[in-house]
Structure 1
Amino acid sequence: MEIHLLFKALSFIFLVVIGISGNAFILFAFSYIRIMEKKLMPTNIILMVLASMNFLVVISRAIPQALDATGLQNLLDDTMCKLIMLTYRGSRAMSIFVTSLLSCHQCILIAPITGLWPYLKQKVTQNVLVIIIVIMCINLVLHPSPLMYTHAKKNVTTSPYTLHLVYCDTDFLTYLNYVVNGALFSVRDFLFVGLMTLASSYIVYVLVCHEKSIKGIRSSDRDKRKSVEYKASRAVILLVVMYALLFGMDNCMWIYTLTLSNASPGVNEARVVLSCSYSALSPIVIIATNPKLQQIANILHRRKLLPWNHQEDSGSRIHVNCISK
């Protein structure tokens, strides 16, 4: 195997392993919490949906890339290509929206109780799942291009306005279709980036103002308040920064490909790495900044270290102490 193919294969295999294990753990942990506690906080619902969408992105995009890099050819037919690309486009769009919703929800939660903020706190918190379902339906309607233009790779000449996606080609046939589809995706992405950037900036502003207002309070009380607020907002800000960097570069490269009559496979592969990196690496940020997930991770970790004859009883005690907090 050539060096660049080996590097490509290892890169995508790394993203697949990290992405599947991290997102699967988040889904398992929140499902477990939902069963044990009979409810999930709105923020955790959003994180669970985000993990679901990221899981689908890794499955539909990183795995085919990893298989292709290892030398497996012609695995998908036209129907599978359409299904894979529809899954990828829809889950990627939902990943963008859910990250934006997460930042806006956190912004609403920490906003002062004046003006329209109390109304938004109540309505958004109570209807988080409804909002997500509505946007998911809209996304499915707005992504017809995989069904219309995607097909399995064939030994025939394609138009210059074709995106080569390992096992599949998306041939837009005309320059107008190529540019319109690209422009719509870019405008949508930059709109959500702008929204989440504004929300995150407001979160930082509120935290800075609050930090200044509690300077005279006792250090122990100040540390407790600061800890609660910072832990609630730290993951959101980190996810937004990660998203802005990775998807920002992805969209810049996408806009660059619109100026080309036929984008090279190397450019498309670089875009795939960037778009998959957020879905694969964001679980690390979520787990590292979510106390509930850390508690369950500690339970699983300790069970592996305990002697077999005490594992069940000790694990149960740890479970009761941690989850009930």
Structure 2
Amino acid sequence: MVTRDWTTGMIYLSQTILGILGNFSLLSHYLCIYFRRCKFRPTDLIIKHLTVANCLVILCRGVPQTMAALGMKHFLSDIGCKLVFYVHRVSKDVSTGSTCLLSITQAITISPSKTGCAKFKEKAPKYIGSCNILCWTLNLILNVMVPMFVTSGNRSDKNITKNTDYGYCYSFKRDRSSESLYVALLLFRDIFFVVLMVWASSSMVFTLYRHKQQVQYIRGSRSSPESRATHSILILVSTFVSLCTLSSIFHICLTVLSNPSVWLVNTSALIAGSFPTVSPYILRSHDSRVHSLCCACTRNTQSPG
């Protein structure tokens, strides 16, 4: 039992360290671009908000889960539990919304001039900041009920049925009708975002295919920054959709089951932390500015690429 808990703790710790290093490294990359006065791409602001949200997800779920797995049980106060769960849920939903916004913005950015999306090319960058602020604001409001169903477990309240033990906090069930409505809303939201991402990704794949067909006879043709950024976003969205599907399944199981096992809770937390951990590495691996920042700055100040 002790060996299994220690192994679980080490897995959480590794994921948390990788996630924090990756996301803070990506934020440092954008700070470097800012201080060197490089020209930002339209999607850079979305990626910065996505990275901040991912950092908060890791800090509010990965760190407490690691401490609990290593033996520090129920170390948070009741207010601490409510705050951690609230910030985690808001950040997770912002991460989802930012990924969706990122895929749609990139689809508009690379769309050919003759398509219907082309007319939004000039207008889209002006509304990106407002969309990010709206995303945070809506999720702060929509998740305001989350703290009401979380407790540290230190209170002697006999009316509370503690059904999910996260190791550092408890969550308890609402009534049956509220629970069903809550699960239905979660499913509707996730499906809505996934459909938008699939639509945007399909549009990007079609645009890249047509572009490849046009330049395949040009010798020495190299992929453009827009093409590399599009590939990274396609990989990011594919990763998100896969992990989001798994995470939603596990989350529904945790919500429906009256007394979920420790294995189910740990696996759900591990999957929930996977996307915030791998996303910065996916984005960095396809960004040419990471390895040639000085050259990229010179190029970007002259052209909108």
Fold shared, TM-score > 0.5 on shorter chain: yes
Tell me, which stretches of 5 or more residues in structure 1 are unaligned? 297-319
Using the TM superposition, name which of 19-28 and 184-193 deviates more.
Answer: 184-193
Change (3 A) 1:120 1:163: farther
Aligned partner letter, 1:196: M
Per-residue CA deviation, residues 257-284 of structure 1 (Å, 9 max, x unaligned), is 4442332232122111001011011111
* Structure 2 match to 1:211: 212
SS of the residue corresponding to residue 43 of structure 2 reads helix
Aligned partner letter, 1:150: V
1:8 counterpart = 2:8: yes
Equivalent residues in 2 for 1:210-249, closer than 5 Å: 210-215=211-216, 217-220=217-220, 223-224=221-222, 226-249=223-246
SS of the residue corresponding to residue 162 of structure 1 reads strand
RMSD of the alignment, in Å?
2.1
Per-residue CA deviation, residues 231-251 of structure 1 (Å, 9 max, x unaligned), is 121110110111111111111
* Structure 2 match to 1:264: 261
SS of the residue corresponding to residue 71 of structure 1 reads coil
Change (3 A) 1:324 1:229: closer
Per-residue CA deviation, residues 271-315 of structure 1 (Å, 9 max, x unaligned), is 11001011011111111111122336xxxxxxxxxxxxxxxxxxx
Q: 1:279 aligns with which of 276, 279, 291?
A: 276
Kept in 2: contact 1:158–1:171 (CA 8 A): no
* Structure 2 match to 1:304: none
SS of the residue corresponding to residue 174 of structure 2 reads coil
* Structure 2 match to 1:178: 179
Kept in 2: contact 1:22–1:280 (CA 8 A): yes
**How far 1:48 sits from its partner (Å)?**
1.1
Cα distance in 1, alignment partners of residues 85 and 273 from structure 2: 14
Tell me, which stretches of 5 or more residues in structure 2 are unaligned? 300-305
SS of the residue corresponding to residue 163 of structure 1 reads strand
Q: 1:295 aligns with which of 281, 292, 296?
A: 292
Kept in 2: contact 1:161–1:173 (CA 8 A): no
* Paired residues, number: 298
Cα distance in 2, alignment partners of residues 160 and 114 from structure 1: 59
Aligned partner letter, 2:201: S
Higher helix proportion: 1
TM-score with structure 1 length normalisation? 0.85
The structure that has the greater radius of gyration is 1
SS of the residue corresponding to residue 324 of structure 1 reads helix
Per-residue CA deviation, residues 178-226 of structure 1 (Å, 9 max, x unaligned), is 22222222221221112111111111111112222333x3222xx22x4
* Structure 2 match to 1:94: 94
Equivalent residues in 2 for 1:186-197, closer than 5 Å: 186-197=187-198
Cα distance in 2, alignment partners of residues 274 and 38 from structure 1: 36
Change (3 A) 1:79 1:258: closer
* Structure 1 match to 2:48: 48
Cα distance in 2, alignment partners of residues 167 and 145 from structure 1: 20
1:23 counterpart = 2:23: yes
Cα distance in 1, alignment partners of residues 242 and 264 from structure 2: 17
Kept in 1: contact 2:153–2:170 (CA 8 A): yes
Kept in 1: contact 2:232–2:286 (CA 8 A): yes
Per-residue CA deviation, residues 45-89 of structure 1 (Å, 9 max, x unaligned), is 111111111000000000001001111122101111111011100
Cα distance in 2, alignment partners of residues 272 and 72 from structure 1: 17
Same amino acid, percent of matched pairs: 24
Cα distance in 1, alignment partners of residues 248 and 288 from structure 2: 33
